Chains A and B, each alone.
Chain A
Amino acid sequence: MRFIFFALLKPMAKTFALFTPDWFIDLASSAISAETVAQYRSLIDYVIWPLVQIALMLFIVATLVAYLVYAERKVSAFIQARLGPMRVGPWGLLQPLADLIKLISKEDIVPDKADKFIFPVAPMISVIAGFTVLSVLPFGPSWLHISDVNIGLLFVFAFSSVGVLGIIMAGWSSNSKYPLLGGLRSSAQMVSYEVGMGLAIVGALMFTKTLSMVGIINQQLQSGVWNIVYQPLGFFIFFTCGLAETNRTPFDLPEGESELVGGFHTEYSGFRWSLFFLAEYTAMLVVSAVATTLYLGGWHLWGVTAPLWGMGPLVDPQTSPNLYAVVGLLIFAAKTAPLIYVFMWFRWTFPRYRYDQLMDLGWKWLTPAALANIVLTGTIYLVVKEFLGPLDDPANLGAKIAMSLAMLLVATPIVFALLALINRRTAGYDIAEQRRRQVMARAERQARIVAAEVK
C-alpha cells in the first residue's frame, strides 16, 4: 500500500495537486495534533487536501448551477415583463431547493424499448465530463484552483467534446424518433463548431504562448493587456461557437423544444433529466470561465490585485495570501457573471437557426473567419515586433497600441472582405430569395421538358 502510494500516486499527485494552504494545516493541527499533521504531511498535501478541494468545488458549483437555473428564469421573466418564481422564500430564492426535492422524488421512467445499459449511462457521461473540466478552471489564485495542468486549455476542449457523447448516446438509446433526431443534430453541430472554436483560440494562444490556464492569466498580467484587445474577432468567434457547443439558443437544435419535444432528453424524467440540465448549465459556466481566462485576464484586475500606474496593488499577494485568493475569486466571478448573463439574454432574444443556416454559419462564416484570424494575427504580430519591439515588454506601449489598432482596423475589414468573397453567392439567401429561386428552377425544368416533347 505504502509502495503504491510512493511509487505511483505521489509523482502523479505532484503534477496535479498544488500545495496545501497554511490555514488548512493550522486547522488540522488544532483539530488533531501538530505532530500527527507533520507526520502525515505528504498524505495531506497529495490526497486529503485535493479531496477537500474537490468536495468543496463540487458542492459550490452544483449550488451555483442550481441558482443559474433560477437566474435564467428570472432573466426570462423580466425580459417578458413577468416576475418569475416568487413563492418559495423571499423573491423565490429557495426555488432551486424546491426544484431539487421535486426532481429527486419524481418517478424514474426508463422506456420499455430503450437500451437498458446506455440509457442510464448517458446523463452520467454528460455530467462527469462537465464536472471534470472544473478541475482545471482557474477560479482563483493559489489554493482556489484544484490543479494547474500545463495543457489546461486542451484538457477543457477534450472533455467538453466528451460531453457531447452523452447527448448522442441519450439520443440513440432512447429508441424514439425525437431523441434520435436531436442526437443526430447534436453530433453534426458539435463537429462543425468544435473546429471554429479550436481555431479561434489559436490567435489568443499566439500571445499567451502557453496552454496552462494559470500561465495564460499571468501572461496577461505581465503584458498588461487583456487578450480581448488583441483578439476582438477571436473572442466573438469563440463566444459564438461556445453558444453552439453548449446547445444554447440560437443553436439549441439538439434540444429544440418547439420542434423535437425536448430533443435528446425527451424520454428522460426526474433525476436523470436533471443531470442533463446540470450538465448544460455547467457547460455554460465552463465556456464563460474559459472566455474569462483566455480573453478577459482571469482573476486579475489592475488596481486591485495588480499595480496600476505605479501604485501598489490594493491586496498584496505576499502579505495577505488568503485575502488575495478570495478577492481574486470575486473578480473572476464578476467577469464570468456578465458573460453568463449574455448567454441568457441571447436565449430570450434570438430565434433558433434552421439546420442549413447552422451549417452555413459554422463552415462558411466562422471557420474561415477563424482561419483568417490566425493568419492575420501572426502577420501583424511579426510586423509589429519587427518595427516596434516585443509585445511582452510592459513598457512598450507603442507596440501594444499599434497591435490592437491593427487588429481592429486592418484585420477585421480583411476578414469581412474574405467572408463576403466566400459567401458571395449565398450571402443574400433569405427565405423569400430561396422561394424565388425555387420557382425559377421549376419553370426552367418545365421549359426543358416542353422543349424535349416538342423535339
Chain B
Amino acid sequence: MSWKKVFSKFLLFDLFKGLQVTFKQQVPSEIITEQYPKVRPVVSERFRGAPRLNLDPDTGETLCIACNLCALACPENCIEVGWENREVVAHGRPGQKRKVLTTFLFDTSRCLFCNLCAEACPTNCLELTQDFELASYTRKSFIWDREMLEHGREIVKYKR
C-alpha cells in the first residue's frame, strides 16, 4: 500500500468525503419537492394537456368550421365532429348553405396528446392547453363534449 492510501485509510478520508456530499445537499434552495395543491407547479412551455375549442374573441362564436380535419388527423380516432348544412348569414351575403358545427366529442382517455389535431386545424380553433389535471372518477367523464371543450371543466377547488 502506498503512503497516500494508508493515510486515507486511517484518517477515514472516504467517510469524510461521503459526509461532505450529504452535508452539501442540504441547501434549502435546491429542494425539488413541490407543495402541489397549495402551490401550482410550473409546466414547461410546450407541455400539451387538456384540449380546448377556442371562441372568436369578438363575437363569442366558435371558430370551428366543422372541416373534420382534426378527426382525420387523429391517430387514435378520438375526435368526433358532428355538423349539419344550414343556411347562414355570413359576410353580408344571405342564404348561403354552410357546414355548421353541432357536436364535438373529444375522448381524453384515448388521446395521446400528440398535437396533430391542433396542427391540422386551419382556424386555430382546437388547441391543447397547459392544464394537466385530467383525472376523473368515471370512464364516461373522460369524453369531453363541446360545452366542456369551449368553457373548460368545472374545477373543484382544493379546500382544507
Contacts and interface: CB of A to CB of B under 8 A. Distances in A.
Interface of A: 75, 77-83, 86, 345-346, 348-350, 416, 419-420, 427-428
Contacts of B19: 345-346, 349
Interface residues of B, number: 18
Given A78-B28, A81-B30, A416-B10, A348 B22 contact: yes
Contacts of B10: 416, 419-420
B95 to A, nearest CB: 64
Nearest to B5: A428
A419 B6 CA distance: 12
A349 B31 contact: no
A420 B10 CA distance: 9
| Pairs A-B, 8 closest by C-beta atoms | A78-B26, A83-B33, A349-B22, A416-B10, A82-B33, A79-B22, A349-B18, A79-B25
A360 B31 CA distance: 39
B35 interface: yes
B32 A81 contact: yes
B90 interface: no
A83 B35 contact: yes
Contacts of B33: 77, 81-83
A81 B31 contact: yes
B144 to A, nearest CB: 33
A86 B22 contact: no
A30 B30 CA distance: 55
Interface of B: 1, 6, 9-10, 15, 18-19, 21-23, 25-26, 28, 30-33, 35
A346 B15 CA distance: 10
B22 A427 contact: no
Given A345-B19, A349-B19, A80 B25 contact: yes
B33 to A, nearest CB: 4
B146 to A, nearest CB: 39
Contacts of A346: 19
Nearest to A83: B33
Contacts of B28: 78
B23 A345 contact: yes
Contacts of B18: 349-350
Nearest to A86: B35
Contacts of A81: 25, 30-33
Contacts of A77: 33
Given A81-B30, A82-B33, A416-B10, A350 B25 contact: no
Contacts of A428: 1
Contacts of A345: 19, 22-23
A83 B35 CA distance: 9
B115 to A, nearest CB: 32
A82 B1 CA distance: 41
B17 to A, nearest CB: 10
B25 A78 contact: yes
13 contacts: A75-B26, A78-B26, A79-B22, A79-B26, A80-B25, A81-B30, A81-B32, A83-B31, A83-B35, A86-B35, A345-B19, A349-B21, A428-B1
Contacts of A80: 25
Nearest to A351: B18
B15 A350 contact: yes
B74 to A, nearest CB: 40
A143 to B, nearest CB: 38
A80 B35 CA distance: 16
